[in-house]
Structure 1
Amino acid sequence: MTVLLCLGTVYSWSVFRKPLEDELSISATQSLLPYTIALLFYALLMPIAGFYIPRLGARRMIMLGGLIVGFGYICSSFAHNILTLTLTYGMITGTGVGITYGVPMAVVARWFPDKKGLAVGLTIIGFGLSPLVTAPLAKNLIDAYQVRPTLLIFGIVFTLIILLMTIVLKFPPVDWQPKEKTSASTVTSRTVTYPKTLWKSRSFYGLWVCYMIGTFVGLSAIGISSPVGEEIIKIDPGVAATSVSLFALFNGVSRPLFGWLSDRFKPRYIAIAAYTLILIACILMVNAQEGQVITYLVAFCLFWFCLGGWLALAPTTTLRLFRPEDYAQNYGIVFTAYGIGALLGTLVAGSIRDWFGSYTYAFYPMGGVAILGIILASFWLKRDRPIETS
Structure 2
Amino acid sequence: LITGKLASVLIPSVGLPTTFAYFGIAFGIILVILSLPFRFPAAGWAPTGWKPAAGSVAAADFTPGEMVKTGTFWGLFLCFLIGSIAGLMAIGISKPAGNEIIKISGETAATLVGVFAIFNALGRPLFGFLTDKITPRNAAILNLVIILIVSLIMIIAREGDTGLYTISFIGFWLCLGGWLAIAPTATATFFGMKNYARNYGVVFCSYGLGAIVGGIISGQAKDVFGTYTVAFYPTAVLAVVGLVLTVALLKTPKKA
- How far residue 146 of structure 1 moved from its aligned partner, in angstroms, is 7.4
Q: Which residue of the other structure, out of 289, 300, 309, is the alignment partner of 2:158?
A: 289
Deviation, structure 1 residue 229: 1.6
Q: 1:158 aligns with which of 18, 27, 31?
A: 27
Q: What one-letter code is carried by the residue in structure 1 that aligns with 2:144?
A: Y
Q: How does 1:1-390 map to 2 (within 5 A)?
A: 132-139=1-8, 141=9, 145=13, 148=16, 150-151=19-20, 153-168=22-37, 170-175=38-43, 177-183=45-51, 192-195=59-62, 197-381=66-250, 383-384=251-252
Number of residue pairs aligned between Structure 1 and Structure 2: 251
Query: 1:294 Cα deviation (Å)?
Result: 1.6
Residues in 1 aligned to 2:48 and 2:247: alpha-carbon distance in whole angstroms: 36
CA contact (8 A) 1:136 1:241 kept: no
TM superposition shift of 1:315: 0.5
Q: CA deviation at 1:289?
A: 1.8
Percent identity over paired residues: 40
Contact 1:135-1:244 within 8 A present in 2 as well: no
Does the 8 Å CA contact 1:194/1:386 hold for their aligned counterparts? no
Question: What's the TM-score once normalised by structure 1's chain length?
Answer: 0.58
Residue 165 of structure 1, CA deviation: 2.4
Larger RCO, structure (CA 8 Å, separation 6 or more): 2
Closer, same or farther: CA 151–232 of 1 in aligned 2, 3 Å: farther
Q: What letter matches 2:29 in structure 1?
A: L
From the superposition, tell whether residues 310 and 177 of structure 1 become closer, same or farther in structure 2 (CA, over 3 Å).
same
| Alpha-carbon distance between aligned partners in 1 of 2:196 and 2:19, rounded to the nearest angstrom | 36
Distance in structure 2 (CA, Å) of the matches to 1:194 and 1:233: 50
Cα distance between partner residues in 2 of 1:352 and 1:274 = 24
- Structure 1 segments unaligned to the other structure (5+ residues): 1-131
> Does structure 1 conserve the Cα–Cα contact (< 8 Å) formed by 2:128 and 2:181?
yes
Q: Secondary structure at the match of 1:232?
A: helix
Q: Using the TM superposition, give the Cα deviation of residue 178 of structure 1 relative to its aligned residue in structure 2, in angstroms.
A: 3.6
CA separation in 2, counterparts of 1:137 and 1:296?
Answer: 27
**Distance change (3 Å), C-alpha of 1:327 and 1:351:** same
Q: CA deviation at 1:147?
A: 5.5
Conserved in 2, the CA contact under 8 Å of 1:133 and 1:245?
no
> Given residue 357 of structure 1, which amino acid in structure 2 is its aligned partner?
G
What stretches of structure 2 of length at least 5 have no aligned partner?
none
Aligned partners of 2:12 and 2:164: how far apart in 1?
Answer: 31
The offset of 1:319, in angstroms, is 0.4
Letter in 2 for 1:182: W
**1:134 and 1:219, CA in 2 relative to 1: closer, same or farther beyond 3 A?**
same
User: Counterparts of 1:266 and 1:325 in 2: how far apart (Å)?
Assistant: 20
